[in-house]
Amino acid sequence: MNAEDRGMFAQRAVAENYRRYLQPYLFDPWAQRLVNSVGLQRGQAVLDVAAGTGAVARAAAAIVGGSGSIVASDISRSMLSSITSTAAAANDDKASITTLECSATAIDLPDASMDVVFCHQGFPFMPDRVAVAREMFRVLRPGGTVAVGVWALGEHLYPFDDYAAFVRKHVPDSAFARSMGSGSLSMTSEDVAAALIGGGFADATASVEHLTVQWPTASEEARGITGTPFGPEIGSMAPAAQEAFLVQLAASLADENGATVPHPSVSVFGRGSVPR
């Protein structure tokens, strides 16, 4: 899964299931951690690159407040559409979120227009990360900050490694089984720092971060697979086969009583700034 792929998160159902079963239990807690790592100020202008369904954008909107502004950019219109559809319900003192459908290598924003740029779990999908970092550098103001989060290479990647192991066993010819897993979704600290330095952030550093995540039910944990690029393969199964697959997957993820268990999760956070 290294190529830039507009189609990977393009399906409406994948985006909706990502928002429902993956974002709240896995991506929101990590997005909040990434946002907190930067010390955002009220009134700041923030860009969330590869924003998906808006985990980082929403967390940032609550901190920069109504006097701030958020742009959420992504290559997939379907992923961005859930941000647009929930924007109207946003509370008063939150920044409004503007969506921008574009590649991370060609961000449709002026030079030096942002205070902080985030990219959470987007780098692994981008073949030219130095070009992405260069775009981030370009849109940041002097003194601006970039913060990038990716899964840490060499660590067990829950739930994707577990989904992949289950699929490999039960649907051996699945494209998902071949492509999904920590190797294709993760990076080292050195990889992250090198990409940022290559893009112009001479002071870039990276650190390893730990967080425990947990789903409320094994069924929701299992349904997270429908929010991945394997979603269309599941969606094409007959309804009874699909339900049986998800019930078996849920059983494989739960403990002996069918309950969910907390999972350690490890990321790399990269940071850099533009000289004043």
Residue 263 as a binder of ligand SAM (CB under 6 A): the answer is no
| CA–CA separation, 209 and 219 (whole Å) | 27
Q: Residue 164 interacts with ligand SAM (CB under 6 A)?
A: no
Does 103 help bind ligand SAM (rule: CB under 6 A)?
Answer: yes
To the nearest whole angstrom, how small is the minimum distance from the Cβ of residue 73 to ligand SAM?
A: 7
Q: How far is the CB of 161 from ligand SAM (least distance, A)?
A: 15
Tally helices (H) and strands (E) across the chain: 12, 8
Please state, as a whole number, how many other Cβ atoms lie within 10 Å of the Cβ of residue 118.
Answer: 31
**DSSP three-state, residue 71:** strand
Q: Which helix (H) or strand (E) holds 183?
A: helix 182-185
| Identified binder of ligand SAM from the candidate list 35, 38, 45, 51, rule CB under 6 A | 51
Query: How far apart (Å, rounded) are the C-alpha atoms in residues 97 and 155?
Result: 33
Q: How far is the CB of 95 from ligand SAM (least distance, A)?
A: 17
- Least Cβ distance, residue 127 to ligand SAM (angstroms): 8
Q: Which of 50, 70, 140, 196 binds ligand SAM (CB under 6 A)?
A: 50
Tokens at residue 33, please? 């951690």
Q: How many CA atoms lie within 13 A of 58 on its CB side?
A: 23
Secondary structure, 3-state, 244-274: HHHHHHHHHHCCCCCCCCCEEEEEEEEEEEC
Query: Residue 71 or 254: which CB sits closer to ligand SAM?
Result: 71
Pattern of binders to ligand SAM over 117-156, x per CB under 6 A? ---xxx--xx------------------------------
Q: According to the binding rule CB under 6 A, does residue 55 interact with ligand SAM?
A: yes
Query: Which residue ranges make up the site for ligand SAM (CB under 6 A)?
Result: 4, 9, 23, 27, 31, 50-53, 55-56, 74-76, 79, 103-104, 120-122, 125-126
